[in-house]
Structure 1
Amino acid sequence: MQWRATKPMTSNETNTPLPTAAYFSMEIALDPAMPTYSGGLGVLAGDTLRAAADMSVRMIAVTLLHRQGYLSQTIDAEGWQHEQPVDWNIEEHCRELPQRAEVEIEGRTVHVRAWQYDVVGCEGYRLPVLLLDTDLDENADTDRALTQQLYGGDSRHRLSQEVVLGIGGVRILRSLRIDSLVQFHMNEGHAALLVLELLDERAKSLGREMFNSEDVQAVRKQCVFTTHTPVPAGHDRFGFDLVEQVLGRSDLFDMHEVFCCAGELNMTYLALNLSHYVNGVAKKHGEVSRHMLVPKDTNHHYAIDHITNGVHVATWASPSFSELFDRFLPGWREDNASLRGALAMPPNEVWQAHRAAKLRLIDEINATQDDLFDPLTFTIGFARRATAYKRANLLISDPERLHRIVEKHGPIQIVFAGKAHPHDVEGKHLIQQIVRAKNQLHPAVKLVYLENYDWELARLIVSGVDVWLNTPQPPLEASGTSGMKAAINGVPSLSILDGWWIEGCVEGTTGWAFGNAASTNPANVDRFKEDADALYDKLEQVIVPLYYTKPDQWLRIMSHAIALNGSYFNTQRMVQQYVVKAYYET
């Protein structure tokens, strides 16, 4: 009998096994109408849970509610981003559980409740997600606001949120009488304070007020940590003074087995020190993390494996490709590896499915734009968070070069989308630069920057463009998943060799790489022009002429993108690796 979260959770029901893993993530994309995510990390978390539900993996997930979401984006006539909160109707999607938990923040008791959302797998299995909420009358206004907005507020606010997620999350599980979890999986370091709660629990159960090295070893066997970023700003750090104020305790700082770094709490190192299995999210990212995550003034090196990310195939396959797979690859939802059979699908059927997806995207664009897009024109897609290292402006950095490519081979359309963090002024300037480039490129190249990039818009873009472009500064792309979503829909990638593309690129077969793979120094000031020239060369010499003059070869590449990349870079394979390597490792 499967464990189902259809009522308050208890452990004494006959023949009802409890979940064996708890998955903690600050953000999770659960439903397009629920703005409980900001981008790749949250979408990856949601895809992970959808795959786990498809395979009936006994898991439970914990996150925060985010009553006002992340942000709704508008772009004015000058190309400047403006943000608004995103309110949503919680009761339409979740049900409140009666159990409560309490945490201490700055000496105040903060009451925490949970709302439950069920992720339903393709065969009906229900995987529960607990969304923690502090917006309760008994809490102070400051504490009620802790679960209002994703990634809002200052360091004190962020640390307080992480107390609710990590410590409050474990206590909510205990209030639901879930006491026998085998593994606690921290998806990034935001949830790392859960290890302190586990340490305190164990010490108290053995009659001690303070945990010791034996407790550290025991808790380490219970924890798994996935790190997602080689960008320093992606690792939360808090000064000990702030930690002492928020947690109300200073008894931890001399425990070097737990805290490695003098003067600050680094959530990444806290998770590293208390996890028996740690992984990066691509082969290259595992290697980068092993070199990067070495505490100052030590020679300690962590054992960091890798499990390359994937995407949930049924979520990201467009309606036209879902129908195509249903006809030619029955059972693809239950067995994503069956997409390798895409090579046997009739090429004209693949093209018709792509054309239908492209028309859906172009209809969306043309409904709001004066400069109408043409379904017969070669279309490039670029959509991701607007931040400097992703270099969204690489493609438009030399308008004259783009003009020459068009004159030589045929017209080009470019679809951009992506939000900048409200405090990322450089990211906002990047959006503005792209929007202003529209006039420089017109009429030879049509360009649109679509507002408010979200789950629904992503599904249109990744399936509706002809090539998916990725231009990060190596080695700062941990994995990337948007190109995987494109591949499911027969859209090949054109990307720098970084993140997952090092593993996924079969040149001229699943897509194309550009740039010097050996040149991976982020401080290399000449890299931008070098990569831009390489990008233009690949477009001019290979990709655009191939699209316009050799449709049979283009269709072969589309089919190989599905068969080779879609069949492997999916969360079904990824979750299987977590189960084998992390959850049930002895």
Structure 2
Amino acid sequence: MLKREDDTPAVPTAPVTRVEPFASRTRVAYLSMEIALEPAVHTYSGGLGVLAGDTAYSAADLNLPMVFVTLVTRQGYFRQVIDADGNQTEEPDPWDPAAHAVPLGALVAVTLEGRSVWIRPWFYELKSPTGGRVPVLLLDTDVEQNDPVDRDITDHLYGGDETYRLKQEIVLGMGGPRILQALGFDIRTFHMNEGHAALLTIELLNRFRRALGRQLPHFSEYDYGRVRDMCVFTTHTPVEAGHDKFSYELVNRIAGDLLQNGDLKDLGGTDHLNMTKLALNLSNYVNGVARKHADTTRHMFPGYEVRSITNGVHPGRWAHPAFCRIFDENYPVWHVEPEALNHVDSLPDETIWQAHMTAKHELADLIRQRTGTSLDPDLPTLGYARRMTGYKRPGLLFRDPERLLAIAEKTPFQIVIAGKAHPRDATGKAAIHEILGISGRLADRLKIAYLPNYNLSVARHIVSGVDIWLNTPMPPLEASGTSGMKAALNGALNFSTLDGWWAEGCLDGVTGWAIGDGAPSEEDGEDLYRKLEGTILPLYHDDREKWIWMMKQSIGRIGSTFNTQRMMRRYGAEAYLR
């Protein structure tokens, strides 16, 4: 019979033979509250989950000994519906785990509010385009052994109140390591993708304490050192409000004495349990997700060594099939060695342009089917698609509608927009409403298409089908951002604030264009209009040869560098093999 972490019997539910071949070789566990595996599996909300999914695909490509752990989130994040007045409403977005994954033969328990809450893992076998495979475990509390009040803990991604979120983080951070041990995984390194999984550090401390077979009066620096040696922490949040904090009264009520004979406040903060601070204190390797973001994190949390590994995207997952065929024919190793894309500038212009136009026509078809708006594939198309929230400034492009209209009348273009606002983000919802209102007023003179329910499938069409990729966050609040990397793989030219990854990837006039100088400024909107009118749109209309040259530079310079193959090689060498 399988064992729980505290040596009481686990409940067998099904054979575990599917996971055993992976367990015998796996040494690294990657824990993330969300992972974007495929469009039909609704275990993600946005960039954090998409990054985790791309990470898993590259781990499979590179045959890395990794396992990925997340929540099953049966009801998904939410399905976005835009009503007739331009308001976002939310509906459940359920999926059936049994259609994509297999239940495994173990149940383990965590204690919540004095009750044993049982967790069952589902096994999802991720297969990359190169044939590589990695295991993904989806943690589920909807089992008959649980009290009805606990069966929905893993249902809603980022749903519910503070209590619900804390319970989810206990299931992930403490239940995840227990599941791995019960299934026979011998994990040497735990990688926390954001602070949601930070309670695994407490789980490891208590595991080592139990292994001693006796109670010591206090934890020692030796105990902390053992945990640090096993933990890697990647933070993605340069916004203070984005770091999860829980009152100690709530923690004690839900979880009891989490740290046996230890003072949790020494590790997690004196006023609240700060999950980021807990992870920082008990990880030997900490990194931000771009050079600028690492600097921001060091200022937010002085005294900690914060390195930087800039995010990437999985090339084979985000390049349009038309481009994949070109890359396969000319650079057969590009899936595992994207550096080969550096040679794309030697390809004929017509080859690149035809692949791009194939993607562009497909995007136009999708927009016509979903919205009824007919776009012209021959016009330059500007794309803006991401989470709708205040610091990303989704309304910057529309700050002066008459100016925007005058630019379009002089040098015609069209706009594609997509993105969800969090259900409790009133500012983000207001931005969607405002953009849709402006779009309606300008519809006769400037085509603006808003694609509702932004997800993996919609994203693939947009990043491959637009000509210009717009990103307008207020510096330094963009940790990294990866959507522009996906667009670049397909020859789109980035036009973005110098924040996150673009501060590293921008060669103005070569891979795209910068908005502003990288400092927070009210002048960014004016700079956006000036460059769009005076440089970008005239170049598209009047100098197609130069435009295609820049497309090649975008694919070659960005695609060869800002990818998860490079990213995972760095994690392997710098974080996992210490």
Please report the TM-score for the alignment, with normalisation by the length of structure 1. Answer: 0.93
- Superposed CA offset, 1:471-503 (max 9, x none): 001000000000000000010100000000010
Matches within 5 A, 1:320-339: 320-339=322-341
Stretches (4+) displaced over 4 A: 8-11, 250-254
Structure 1 Cα separation of the partners of residues 371 and 31 of structure 2: 41
Counterpart in 2 of 1:533? 526
Structure 2 Cα separation of the partners of residues 48 and 191 of structure 1: 17
Q: Which of 175, 178, 195 pairs up with 1:171?
A: 178
CA gap 1:480/1:342 in 2 versus in 1, 3 angstroms: same
Counterpart in 1 of 2:384? 382
Shift of 1:212: 3.1
Whichever residue aligns with residue 53 of structure 2, its letter is G
Counterpart in 2 of 1:514? 515
Shift of 1:258: 4.8
Counterpart in 2 of 1:559? 552
Contact 1:380–1:467 (CA under 8 A) maintained in structure 2: yes
Structure 2 Cα separation of the partners of residues 17 and 344 of structure 1: 45
Shift of 1:396: 1.1
The answer to whether 1:437 aligns with 2:438 is yes
- Superposed CA offset, 1:248-270 (max 9, x none): 11756963785242121000000
Counterpart in 1 of 2:144? 137
SS at match of 1:452: coil
Shift of 1:444: 2.5
Matches within 5 A, 1:213-228: 213-228=221-236
Structure 1 Cα separation of the partners of residues 266 and 126 of structure 2: 34
Contact 2:20–2:184 (CA under 8 A) maintained in structure 1: yes
Q: Which of 81, 90, 108 pairs up with 2:97?
A: 90
- Superposed CA offset, 1:103-126 (max 9, x none): 001111000100000112344332
Aligned residues: 562
Q: Which of 396, 407, 410 pairs up with 2:409?
A: 407
Matches within 5 A, 1:4-19: 7-10=17-20, 17-19=24-26
SS at match of 1:73: strand
- Superposed CA offset, 1:196-237 (max 9, x none): 110001011112335433211111110000000101221100
Matches within 5 A, 1:369-518: 369-408=371-410, 410-517=411-518
- Superposed CA offset, 1:158-216 (max 9, x none): 000001001000110111122x3110000000000001110001011112335433211
CA gap 1:443/1:250 in 2 versus in 1, 3 angstroms: same
Contact 2:16–2:105 (CA under 8 A) maintained in structure 1: no
Counterpart in 1 of 2:288? 280
Contact 2:34–2:43 (CA under 8 A) maintained in structure 1: yes
Contact 1:258–1:273 (CA under 8 A) maintained in structure 2: no
Shift of 1:341: 1.4
Structure 1 Cα separation of the partners of residues 347 and 42 of structure 2: 37
Contact 1:112–1:132 (CA under 8 A) maintained in structure 2: yes
Structure 1 Cα separation of the partners of residues 258 and 58 of structure 2: 41
The answer to whether 1:350 aligns with 2:352 is yes
SS at match of 1:130: strand
Structure 2 Cα separation of the partners of residues 209 and 8 of structure 1: 38
Shift of 1:334: 2.4
Structure 2 Cα separation of the partners of residues 339 and 495 of structure 1: 23
502-511 or 337-346: bigger deviation: 337-346
Shift of 1:18: 2.3
Contact 1:253–1:259 (CA under 8 A) maintained in structure 2: no
Whichever residue aligns with residue 189 of structure 1, its letter is G
Counterpart in 1 of 2:8? none
The answer to whether 1:102 aligns with 2:104 is no
Counterpart in 2 of 1:66? 73
The answer to whether 1:181 aligns with 2:187 is yes
Structure 1 Cα separation of the partners of residues 94 and 39 of structure 2: 13
Matches within 5 A, 1:1-80: 7-10=17-20, 17-80=24-87
Structure 2 Cα separation of the partners of residues 17 and 177 of structure 1: 7
Whichever residue aligns with residue 399 of structure 1, its letter is P
124-133 or 494-503: bigger deviation: 124-133
Counterpart in 2 of 1:271? 279
CA gap 1:192/1:510 in 2 versus in 1, 3 angstroms: same
Whichever residue aligns with residue 38 of structure 2, its letter is D
Q: Which of 213, 220, 226 pairs up with 1:212?
A: 220
Q: Which of 560, 572, 576 pairs up with 1:579?
A: 572
- Superposed CA offset, 1:405-437 (max 9, x none): 1232x2111111001111111111110000001
Counterpart in 2 of 1:365? 367
Contact 2:268–2:275 (CA under 8 A) maintained in structure 1: no
Contact 2:206–2:260 (CA under 8 A) maintained in structure 1: no
Counterpart in 2 of 1:151? 158
CA gap 1:509/1:253 in 2 versus in 1, 3 angstroms: farther
Structure 1 Cα separation of the partners of residues 138 and 327 of structure 2: 34
Contact 2:492–2:551 (CA under 8 A) maintained in structure 1: yes
Structure 1 Cα separation of the partners of residues 47 and 287 of structure 2: 17
Shift of 1:134: 0.2
Counterpart in 2 of 1:524? none
SS at match of 2:396: coil
163-172 or 201-210: bigger deviation: 201-210
Structure 2 Cα separation of the partners of residues 256 and 247 of structure 1: 12
Structure 2 Cα separation of the partners of residues 331 and 92 of structure 1: 33
Shift of 1:397: 1.1
Contact 2:297–2:306 (CA under 8 A) maintained in structure 1: yes
Structure 1 Cα separation of the partners of residues 31 and 517 of structure 2: 37
Structure 2 Cα separation of the partners of residues 257 and 309 of structure 1: 32
Structure 2 Cα separation of the partners of residues 117 and 582 of structure 1: 25
Structure 2 Cα separation of the partners of residues 135 and 289 of structure 1: 37
Contact 1:216–1:257 (CA under 8 A) maintained in structure 2: no
Shift of 1:10: 4.7
SS at match of 2:474: coil
Instruction: List alignment gaps of at least 5 residues for structure 1.
Output: 295-300, 521-526
504-513 or 136-145: bigger deviation: 136-145
Counterpart in 2 of 1:523? none
- Superposed CA offset, 1:74-94 (max 9, x none): 101111001111121211110
Structure 1 Cα separation of the partners of residues 288 and 561 of structure 2: 17
Counterpart in 2 of 1:298? none
- Superposed CA offset, 1:304-326 (max 9, x none): 00000000000001111111212
Structure 2 Cα separation of the partners of residues 259 and 128 of structure 1: 32
Contact 1:8–1:176 (CA under 8 A) maintained in structure 2: no
Counterpart in 2 of 1:297? none
Structure 2 Cα separation of the partners of residues 423 and 92 of structure 1: 31
